[in-house]
Structure formats: structure tokens, C-alpha cells
Structure 1
Amino acid sequence: MSKQQGTNNLTDLNGGEPCCVPMTEQRIPAETAATLAPAFKALGDPVRLQLMSMIASAPDGEICVCDLTPAFDLSGPTISHHLKTLRDTGLVTSERRGTWVYYRPRPEALRQLASLLAVEPATAV
């Protein structure tokens, strides 16, 4: 598996505006697909999807890595690798405070992914 060099991430898109028309309404432009694919790929891993869920649902809007690591039967470096992937794709931000790192979701990034996947409810005929 090759690593992508110089990939785009969600921070490259429209700064807070919805990134795209739902895929059910219009074809995704190649540039948009190339920008969004790494985030979807990152969320395609079960551990990263669980980490993202824990970060996004943190009561105070952020969570310490010290609260994330014990939830998994994985080593600290493995958890750090998964968190770095989420950070590199623009899904989360982090801030070091002393020896701990705190993670916050990027709601605008999640909105970009959600806008692409949005499906309007079927209308009654």
C-alpha cells in the first residue's frame, strides 16, 4: 500500500461552506473526490471510526488521549498512529497540554462529508 504524498485534506475545501452537492443529485468532481476520499478512507477503519465517535461525542467538546487509549486493546503507539491519520485528513484537531494531547472534532469537516452523503427523504406519491 503506498502512502499518498502531499494529499489534500478537508481543510482545503471552501472553509466552512458545504463542499458539495449530495452524490445522489450530481456527480462528484474528480478534485472533490480526491480531497474527500482520504477522510472516508480514514473512517473506513473500525478503530478510527470508534475514535472519531468518541472524540465527536465528548461531553466537553474535546477528549484527552488518556481517556481514549484505555478503551482499546491496542498499544499507545498504535492509537497515536490512528489519531494522526484522523488529524492528517482534517477530521480532528489536537492541542498538547503538558504531557497529554486533547482532541476536538472539526464539525465543518464532518458537515462536508455529511453534505455529500445527504439523501432527501422519499416523497409520497
Structure 2
Amino acid sequence: MVIKCSQCGGKLRRVHRTFLERFQLLAVYECRECDTETPVPRPYTYHFGPHCRCPRCGTYRLNRLKERDRIDRMSTGLLNLLERVAGGKLIHCRFCRLQFYDRRILASEAAAAENQHPGAARN
């Protein structure tokens, strides 16, 4: 499997990370033609940021559920438990078929709110 550059479509090669980048990134790839660097974040970084992301695949394309689906699996772990205790809503990833709790707003809801009020100031 060859990873391609999102800018020019050239082949990517893996480059060395700095000591601090090793804690944040799984890998850093650089394009051979245009020298564009593409970082690959570690999964724990999905828990930071303004919008919720799937803890397994990292996608922003998520759905809210009213109640737990007994067929799809539930995310286990300390962070999921803390989100549930803190009042997080039940979220479902349609790609991984994973359910988890999160307090942050969905990216699709944020985009819809921005389209309704395009002149509103951002926080």
C-alpha cells in the first residue's frame, strides 16, 4: 500500500519525529515531490478539541443516539466512563459501529448552527 500526497499525489516517505512529536504523533510523512509534511495523530488526541471524534477511527461523521443499541459494541475505558458520569450524550460511529459518550458538540451540529447564523461571532 502506497500512501499518496493530498497536495500533488506524489509518494510519501516516513521521516523522523522529534522527541516531543513522539508523544503526539504516530508518524510523520513527507512528500518526495512537494516536501509537504503529513502528520498522523495518536488516538488519545481525538479526545481534545472542540468537536467530538470517534475514539477508534477519528472521523467527525457521527450520530447521536437516544438509547443504547444492543447490537453494536460500547467503548470501554476510563475516558468513556468519565464522559458518561459528566453528562455526555450517547454517540454512534457508523463506520466502526462503535458507541461512546461525549460532552462535546458534533461537527455537523456546529456547521448547521454556523449556517443558520453566519454573522455570529465565534468564541
Quick check: which one's strand share is greater? 2
The structure number with the bigger radius of gyration is 2
TM-score band, normalised by the shorter chain? under 0.3
What is the TM-score of this pair, normalised by structure 1? Answer: 0.25
Which has more helix, going by share of residues?
1
Give the alignment's TM-score, normalised by structure 2. Answer: 0.25
For CA contacts below 8 A with separation 6 or more, give which structure has more relative contact order: 1
